[in-house]
Amino acid sequence: MHWSLAIAKDIVERRKEKKHVVATGITPSGDIHVGNLREIVIGDAVHSALVDMGVEAKLLYVADTFDPLRRRYSFLPEEYETHVGKPLSEIPDPEGCHSSYADHFLLPFLDSLADLGIKIEIFKADEMYKSGMYVDVIREAISSTKELTQIIEDVSGRKLPAQWAPFNPLCDACGRITSAIVKGYDLDKQEMYYECECGNRGIASFKGGGKLAWRVDWAARWKILCVTIEPFGKDHAAPGGSYDTGKRISSEIYNYEAPYPIPFEHILLKTKEEEGTKAKITAMSSSRGTNIPVHEMLEAVPPEILKHVILRVRPDKHIEFDPSLPLLHLIDEYEREVGGIGRGVAGKIPFRHFITLVQIARGDFSELIEVIKRSGYGVREEDEEEINEIRKKARHVENWLLKYAPPSVKFELQSAVPTEEIKSLSDAQKRALKQLAEEIKEGISFNGADWHNKIYEVASATNVEAKEIFKAIYIALLKKPSGPRAGWLLASLDTEFLKERFGAAARI
């Protein structure tokens, strides 16, 4: 049984609700990365499992756009120092292409979710506050300041400052949401009086004039959105952590049962600086720059693969994510177990084989179509969808080669005979190449298996070891002693070209 189904069954057994709301939440303070994506993919999987079981359920994503900028991250220009403490929704886009800092990181992520086929209802925290959705829960929180203080101190074991309030006013002078202290409030007028570090005294409306402190905010949100299920990173699940406080706040202040928790482990990024250096394993983090943004990863792998990376591992186990060769192995596994990637002919060609074809075509799309046809796949060239699917897969392959592929899978088809390297071949190897050239007769059409058999035939006829012939073939074509499976490689090349190349190499 897939873990998502086991969780869904457990939820139905334990909870009394007939309708379920699965909530997820990520702060768009930087690039939303593959590690963050785990939360949404887990939520989506459990949501789908519930729906498959006939349970009514919806899936939400709350973007914490009203969170303050914690510090000036290394990717931000110096002048962003002045924006530290302001809500992300109120800070300009560092690159100037969106209406706010929050949108700059949020919108590409939402596009990625659409690419991943995840249907999710979006809430932006700043809009929730500004629209008044929080008014009632703010009222309850501010009139229960004493009880909230007690709960947080009990659960977290840390003392809160004497002037602590569950609400952080947004200062209308300095724009920060982190530096004002609540001095009083009027529940009827729905406003709070504050004093800010900047010297300003002001009035903050319950409607967008500030936000609840994080631990209170989370519990309040459960009540507002009727959340019954929530996946979250294991840090929140630690004893005395925000889920434990949220649970008590939810039941004691808001009279609401805390959602069914699905804590999950981190995704660790495994990277190699260069071939031969030791692999580095780091937790993904937007602020430290040790991450791969989801939209960037989706340029290099098909969406179903990125989902597979996450779905194949139970939430309570960490994932070591290595986008180089191990990712390619995962793609092989996916194609074996689930099916081909892409529709039409694109779906029939294994990804690994496509890597060879794309490199042979060297960026020329019409050549790629020829290469695909030569390697034995029929292409309906008049079918626009078929062509688009090929184009999409080719783009993934090109980007993967560019950014993540190890040198061992990269090659460059040589436009001329690599004379120097050919000189290093033995006479026997050259004899075998000559023999191969002679085998290529007009009109022959060999597929990968035919070529493979042919090489073995030539090996026994010329008394040269097959592995020596493979090496000679790679050197003659790629100027390196190894390469992709030789049968495939040869089948995707023009036979005239091969005849000429092997003949020329044999003469050197």
Largest CA distance in the chain: 97
Nearest distance in Å: CB 101, Zn ion: 8
Nearer CB in complex with Zn ion: 93/127: 93
Which C-beta is closer to Zn ion: that of 176 or that of 215? 176
CA nearest to 10, candidates 45, 46, 44: 46
Residue 74 or 255: which CB sits closer to Zn ion? 74
Q: Give min distance, CB of 247 to Zn ion, in A.
A: 33
Q: C-alpha angle 79/80/82, rounded to 5°?
A: 85
Least spacing, CB of residue 391 vs Zn ion, in Å: 26
DSSP for 285-299, please give it: BTTTTBS-BHHHHHH
Asked if residue 21 lies in contact with residue 121, where contact means CB atoms within 8 angstroms, the answer is no
Find the shortest distance in angstroms from Cβ 173 to Zn ion: 5
Instruction: Pinpoint the alpha helices (H) of 64-187.
Output: 101-115, 125-131, 135-143, 145-156
Which of 92, 347 has the CB closer to Zn ion?
92
CA–CA dist 134, 217 (Å, integer): 9
Is the CB of residue 262 less than 8 Å from the CB of residue 42? yes
CB nearer to Zn ion: give 103 or 140.
103
CB of 1 or CB of 97, closer to Zn ion? 97
Tokens 């949401």 belong to which residue? Answer: 177
Distance of CA 236 to the CA centre of its chain: 21
Q: CB under 8 Å to 79, separation ≥6 — which residues?
A: none
Tell the smallest beta-carbon distance from residue 82 to Zn ion (Å): 12
Contacts of 316 (CB under 8 A, 6+ apart): 263, 264, 265
Residue closer to Zn ion by CB (options 172, 304) is 172
Q: In whole angstroms, how close is the CB of 65 to Zn ion at the nearest point?
A: 14
Residue 33 gets which letter from DSSP? B
DSSP code for 171: -
Kindly state the smallest distance separating residue 109's Cβ from Zn ion, in Å: 12
Interface residues with Zn ion (CB under 5 A)? 93, 95, 97-98, 104, 171, 173-174, 196, 198, 200
Closest approach of Zn ion to the CB of residue 196, in Å: 3
- The total number of residues shown for the chain amounts to 508
Nearest by Cα to 295 from 124, 117, 113, 121: 113
Of residues 78 and 95, the one with the C-beta less far from Zn ion? 95
